[in-house]
Amino acid sequence: MSAPKKVVLAYSGGLDTSIILKWLQTEYGCEVVTFTADLGQGEELEPARKKAELLGIKPENIYIEDVREEFVRDFVFPMFRANAVYEGLYLLGTSIARPLISKRLVEIAEEVGADAIAHGATGKGNDQVRFELSAAALNPDVKCIAPWREWDLSSRTRLLEFAEANQIPIAKDKRGEAPFSVDANLLHTSSEGKVLENPAEQAPEYVYQRTVAPEDAPNEAEFVEITFEKGDAVAINGAAMSPATILTKLNELGGKHGIGRLDFVENRFVGMKSRGIYETPGGTVLLEAHRGIEQITLDSGAGHLKDSIMPRYAELIYNGFWFSPEREMLQALIDKSQELVSGTVRLKLYKGAATCVGRWSETSLYSEAHVTFEEDAGAYDQKDAAGFIQLNALRLRLLAARKRRLAE
């Protein structure tokens, strides 16, 4: 690969990506364009601009964008239509943000005529894969630079030396090593590494940043009603809101009630197990609500098919294949199922749990006329069940008869 001339860097404004910025300049002598996105991580973006300027980035090369609505509308919500969970429990909060960042990196690279993009993910994790597969799927020619896989700044000491040698300001609290590593966006906060590396030991309470401990949550339950249209949440307690506003509001509610904590050991795509602490307050509430509305509006054939492909869909997102034909095919299947998934769900939030306690819909398939224990006025003829069972049993009877015959 020939040396890149112009590189678009996913830049947070923090120490690590500042070092990368400088390293790109010195190692490749290339022009650096920074992209800083507000994905709802809860940090001010303007300091990133200042810091980029300080590091010599030209103003026209500094891209700072609020992509929260796009994030929730085009990534989070489509994923939640599938009730996607990875390995039974993880709501994919980090995985789903990466494709969007890559998409903007590639688009900016095309705008500014850059020949490469760069990111700050390490060579051990999933994020490098997600960034780079997304980029490859969007532009076959773009190069990806992953300094953590290339440089020799392999210890904290070396990094700090490099920073000092290059006049990169180091915040006081960054001198020492953080006790764990954090990623955050509007959907979740993940924490991993260091003090969390022993999966036998309970995570210390100070790791949690976005949810109160259930013990500290209100002693009284709170109820909330979420309204869906075509599988997407569109209103809370009757008030219509934009996608990002809904998720923000659910985060507040969930966080306040200690909802959405997960202590998890997962299988990374790169082949190793890792332990993470995830906080997905709003997402956890949303998943419970979506399941609730599907219970009355989704047919069993549709629902069981969705359930059966969900693990594969979740794996694709986890592994970084958002922009793959098979993810898009599964999305077409999922979206087809959601056309009448509309209605309202009532949830109870209390001490760490969100539970559906009621759901109603104009598109409900629930038929009290059929299911009732009372007289059903002929809606259902119980005698039909005899034939239904008889034919379902036929092959089992033939199997049993064979077994007998062979045993004789």
Nearer to its own copies, 58 or 158 (CB): 158
Dist. CA 310–CA 332, nearest whole Å: 13
Which 143-182 positions form the footprint of its own copies (CB under 8 A)? 144, 146, 148-149, 154-155, 181
C-alpha 201/C-alpha 383 separation (Å) is 57
User: 262 has which bridge partners?
Assistant: 278
Is 287 known as a binding-site position?
Answer: no
63 bridge partner residues = 35
- Residue list 198-217, contact with its own copies (CB under 8 A): 198-203, 214-215
Q: In terms of CB distance, is 58 or 402 closer to its own copies?
A: 402
Q: Any catalytic annotation for residue 263?
A: no
Do the annotations mark residue 16 as ligand-binding? yes
Task: Write down the least CB distance from residue 111 to its own copies, Å.
Answer: 16
Give the number of other Cβ atoms within 10 Å of residue 378's Cβ: 7
CA distances from 282 to 34, 85, 349, 380 (A): 30, 15, 11, 41
Measured from the CB atom, is 172 or 395 closer to its own copies?
395
Tell me: does residue 300 bind its own copies (CB under 8 A): yes
Among 17, 61, 102, 128, binds its own copies (CB under 8 A): 128
Task: Tell me which residues in 226-245 interact with its own copies (CB under 8 A).
Answer: none
130 is in an annotated binding site: yes
Please tell me the distance from the alpha carbon of residue 306 to that of residue 297, in angstroms, as a whole number. Answer: 14
The residue annotated as part of the active site, out of 98, 210, 275, 359, is 98
Q: Judge whether 189 and 183 are in contact, CB under 8 Å.
A: yes
Residue 349 β-bridge partners: 222, 354
Establish whether 154 is a catalytic residue.
no
Task: Please tell me whether residue 256 binds its own copies under the rule CB under 8 A.
Answer: no
Query: Distance between CA 407 and CA 104 in Å, rounded?
Result: 68
Nearer to its own copies, 57 or 129 (CB): 129
User: Contact between 264 and its own copies (CB under 8 A)?
Assistant: yes
Is there binding between residue 274 and its own copies (CB under 8 A)? yes
14 among annotated binding-site residues? yes
* 225 close to 238: Cβ distance less than 8 angstroms: yes
Per CB under 8 A, the list member of 45, 182, 221, 234 interacting with its own copies is: 221
Q: Which of 68, 81, 104, 127 is catalytic?
A: 127
Structure tokens at 193: 């590494």
118 φ/ψ angles, rounded to the nearest 5 degrees: -140, 150
| Span from 112-120, 167-175, 248-256, 362-370 in contact with its own copies (CB under 8 A) | 362-370
154-159: long-range pairs with CB below 8 Å, 24+: 159/15, 159/16, 159/19
Label the pairing between strands 353-360 and 232-236: unpaired
**At 117, phi and psi to the nearest 5?**
-120, 160
* Stretch in the footprint of its own copies (CB under 8 A) among 33-41, 182-190, 240-248, 314-322: 314-322
For residues 167 and 308, which CB has a smaller minimum distance to its own copies in the complex? 308
Tokens representing 91 are: 């709501």
* Strand pairing category for 143-145 and 116-118: parallel
* Residue 307 among the catalytic residues: no
Q: Is 381 a known active-site residue?
A: no
Instruction: Extract the annotated binding site for L-citrulline.
Output: 90, 95, 126, 130, 181, 190, 266, 278
Catalytically active residues are: 16, 98, 127, 181
Instruction: Extract the annotated binding site for L-aspartate.
Output: 122, 126-127
